[in-house]
Amino acid sequence: MSAAEPAEAAPERAGEVASLLPLVRRVVGARVADPAVAEDLVQETLVRVLAALDRVAPETLEAYAVTTARNLVASLWRSTDRDRRNQHRVVDLRPVEQPGDELLVREKQDALTEAVTRLPDRERRLLLAHEVLGQDTGSLAAEVGSSAGAVAAQLNRTRARLRVEYLLSLERSEPPTDRCRPVLLALSSADRRRQRELDADRHLLECELCARLSGPLLGRGQRRDEETRIPIRADADIVAARQAAREMAQRVGFARTELTLVATAVSEIARNIVRFAGSGEVVVSVLRTPAAGVRIVARDTGPGIPDVEQALADGYSTYHGLGLGLPGARRLMDELTVESEMGRGTTVTMTKWRRGG
């Protein structure tokens, strides 16, 4: 039901492709001023060169990369031109009325009021006594015959519940499943054990509402600086995943070339999720031991890969030579393992270590 492929040493031609990067950067940089756009084109060139490795002889690889980069720049100009011509149509489609700030503020206050009323009576009284009347935990404990520590813990749980109810009130709809509230509460209170019991990771992959709300909830509680979780549903999420990976790799001192390799692998794996699984997530974490590095875990709830070994074999690209597929991503990273279960989904775990120290 599940298969894992141990990582192999990166094939020697990966280094060859990485060594083309300065050249590709010069070609693109001479034609495109915006650094973010240029970086996208450099990555896209890299993807195409990697996808063509089996077809292109080593001595013509450089020429192939330059031609590819130039063609991509040219097609960017063509599409920019087209966008400019079509811009008025996009503008026409925009909603006429934008809600003003005042309205937004009132909406938030209403949601908070509603969230407070949804708390259990005891919890609401405790929270209001503490937050509004300024009563300290010691005197609250004396009133209810408990300890200051227990009261503080209860206040934390109540705040976690309030955050969940507040976000749900802003949504103006009840969550779609019975599991949503418990999962959101476990996230909000950073209760790892409860999250495991509820299989929260999986719920976030399957539930659009909870995936959306998990961002703000984790931002307050449990999200550590060394880990970022990006739900993947649409093309814009691919960009977010790529940026997160770059940022994390930069934080542990990756060189520029390696940042691009990591970002390229992440954007390809995220693209696979959008194309073949529909939804999933990418979790990027910083590694400090045994060496500096980044780890990327990409999960989806797609159909699964029937033959993982074949999918990892060179020359096998999931979309007909236009993308990296798993073998391409493996070339860019130091380690890559795949676990897949038919009908349940696929998890790809990739690691890259910082070079030179």
Residues forming the site for Zn ion (CB under 5 A): 180, 207, 210
Least Å from the CB of residue 346 to Zn ion: 21
* Cβ closest to Zn ion, residue 53 vs residue 200: 200
Q: Closest CB to Zn ion among 73 and 210?
A: 210
- Say if residue 290 is preceded by a cis peptide, omega within 30 of 0: yes
Minimum distance, C-beta of residue 186 to Zn ion, in the bound complex (Å):
12
Non-local (6+) Cβ contacts of 248 within 8 A are: 226, 228, 284, 285, 286, 294
Q: Please answer whether residues 299 and 311 qualify as being in contact, where contact means their C-beta atoms are separated by less than 8 angstroms.
A: no
Helices (H), the chain: 12-19, 21-29, 35-52, 61-93, 101-118, 121-131, 137-144, 148-171, 180-188, 192-197, 200-206, 208-220, 235-251, 256-272, 308-312, 325-332
CA distance 347 to 274: 14
Smallest distance from the beta carbon of 284 to Zn ion, in angstroms?
A: 23
Which residue type sits at 164? V
Residue 197 CB, nearest distance to Zn ion (Å)?
15
* Comparison of 20 and 164: residue with beta carbon closer to Zn ion: 164
Q: Residue 201, CB half-sphere, CA atoms under 13 Å: how many?
A: 15
Residue 279 near residue 205, CB atoms below 8 Å:
yes
Q: Which residue lies nearer to Zn ion by CB, 29 or 221?
A: 221
Nearer to Zn ion, 180 or 324 (CB): 180
Cβ distance to Zn ion smaller for residue 210 or 263: 210
Q: How far apart are CA 279 and CA 232, in angstroms?
A: 6
